[in-house]
Homo-oligomer: A and B are copies of this chain.
Amino acid sequence: MSDALRVALLGCGVVGSQVVRLLDEQADDLAARIGAPLELAGVAVRRPAKHHDVPAELLTTDAEALVTRDDIDLVVEVIGGIEPVRSLLMTALQHGKSVVSANKALLAEDGATLHDAAAKAGVDLYYEAAVAGAIPLLRPLRESLAGDRITRVLGIVNGTTNFILSRMDATGAGFGEALAEATQLGYAEADPTADVDGYDAASKAAILAGLAFHTRVTSADVYREGIGEVTAADMASARAMGCTVKLLAICERTDAGVAVRVHPAMIPRTHPLAGVGDAFNAVFVEAEAAGSLMFYGRGAGGAPTASAVLGDLVAVARNRVSGSRGAGESAYADLPVQPMGEVTTRYHVALDVSDQPGVLASVASAFAEHGISIQTVRQEGRGDAATLVLVTHSAPDAALRATVDDLSKQEFVRRAASVMRVEGMAADR
């Protein structure tokens, strides 16, 4: 058994307090698995008086001093946000501490700076907990699939929005009503913007794309639409074509590089992701040799996230004991990120039209003018209640959007009742 490795914990909220609990309860197992005991040596918090679960002598408000202490080997960060965390972690890395972080926003905005600092200092930077909580995902992408060629990652990576969409699907509720229920049940925060507008999912998409395609991708590279515009009519329209609506993080290897986007999309109910309900997360990975894989579990919550943090902590501690370092960042491929307008997608479009001769021909030619072919079209209702429902084949997103714009201006179109991208159809898989 080697000497104890000393751990500094930055932040002690929902996740941090679970990390403290697990470090204590699993101490013997962790020591046996690492070959050295882990010892909690300090916990940086804003208001020490609030933290009764942590021995008072471990608490400090001076995170900077904690991460530079000579006796600290490993730093765990569960504060979140960009600053002051970036500076703290840079200091920690520069002082030779290995870092485990659950900070998706920081890793997605500026992972490169941290990775470079870790490489320079010869220490580890691990962050499994940053994406999809307890679900082992980054390690499988980075290591298990290291001999394969990942072509596509489709993920439900935000529990709040998945809960809202699942409720809208199950009950026919509108977005506002489902959001209110999510808030009441504690699935949505008081300010749900980061979740509902897709910022959280976009951070995770950037991290996933970076690992999957060995390319640096930041949150600014990710095309993003939230679920605030998803209506009960969209849900009904999805159901009518055997689909449901999910907020998807989509990372694709394309001929032109990589495409990374977050938006609501209709997916067939037969797709494995369609059955992922409530606040669960799941990530569907397509690789050339491995075929289709799916990873499913709890994407958030104190204990599940702490489980992922502890797994990383064991890994970096083992590396420390053996004097080695994990694989580090792999960005050798350095692929360009394709603008959203050029990414090929498929659209579902429901148009309320005046049911008069030639309408279908006019609609079809609007699509044809933009070089888009239509896969299916059906008319619902007659007369003033007529709706044309179309699903296109794949085409550049900009062309699809332009077509819908053109159509919306036509006299015979009363309104575009539902416009949404479609993913996961058999032809795409």
Least CB separation from A272: chain B residue: B296
Interface centre among A18, A149, A295, A313 (most CB of B within 10 A): A295
1/0 per residue A352-396: CB within 8 Å of B? 000000000000000000000000000000000000000000000
The smallest C-beta distance from A269 to any residue of chain B, in angstroms, reads 11
Least CB separation from A134: chain B residue: B290
> In the complex, are the beta carbons of B292 and A297 less than 8 A apart?
yes
Question: In the bound complex, what is the Cα–Cα distance between A206 and B427 (angstroms)?
Answer: 39
Collect the chain B residues with CB atoms within 8 Å of residue A135's CB. 293
> In the complex, are the beta carbons of A149 and B29 less than 8 A apart?
yes
A410 at the interface (CB under 8 A from B): no
A308 at the interface (CB under 8 A from B): yes
Interface centre among A290, A292, A314 (most CB of B within 10 A): A290
A315 at the interface (CB under 8 A from B): yes
Collect the chain B residues with CB atoms within 8 Å of residue A30's CB. 147
Least CB separation from A280: chain B residue: B292
Question: In the bound complex, what is the Cα–Cα distance between A324 and B124 (angstroms)?
Answer: 14
- Quick one: given A147-B30, A308-B144, A332-B32, are A298 and B292 in contact (CB under 8 Å)? yes
Question: In the bound complex, what is the Cα–Cα distance between A146 and B310 (angstroms)?
Answer: 7
Contact pick for A290, options B272, B292, B298, B327, CB 8 Å: B298
Question: In the bound complex, what is the Cα–Cα distance between A26 and B319 (angstroms)?
Answer: 28
Collect the chain B residues with CB atoms within 8 Å of residue A32's CB. 214, 330, 332-333
Question: In the bound complex, what is the Cα–Cα distance between A290 and B301 (angstroms)?
Answer: 9
Interface residues in A92-144 (C-beta closer than 8 Å to B): 128, 134-136, 139-140, 143-144
Q: List, sorted by A's number, 18 A–B pairs whose CB atoms are closer than 8 Å.
A: A18-B289, A29-B149, A33-B214, A134-B293, A136-B293, A140-B144, A143-B314, A145-B311, A148-B310, A272-B296, A289-B310, A290-B297, A290-B298, A291-B298, A291-B304, A295-B295, A295-B296, A323-B324
Q: Which residues of A contact B (CB under 8 A)?
A: 18, 22, 26, 29-30, 32-33, 128, 134-136, 139-140, 143-149, 214, 272, 275, 287-298, 301, 303-304, 306-315, 318-319, 322-325, 327, 330, 332-333
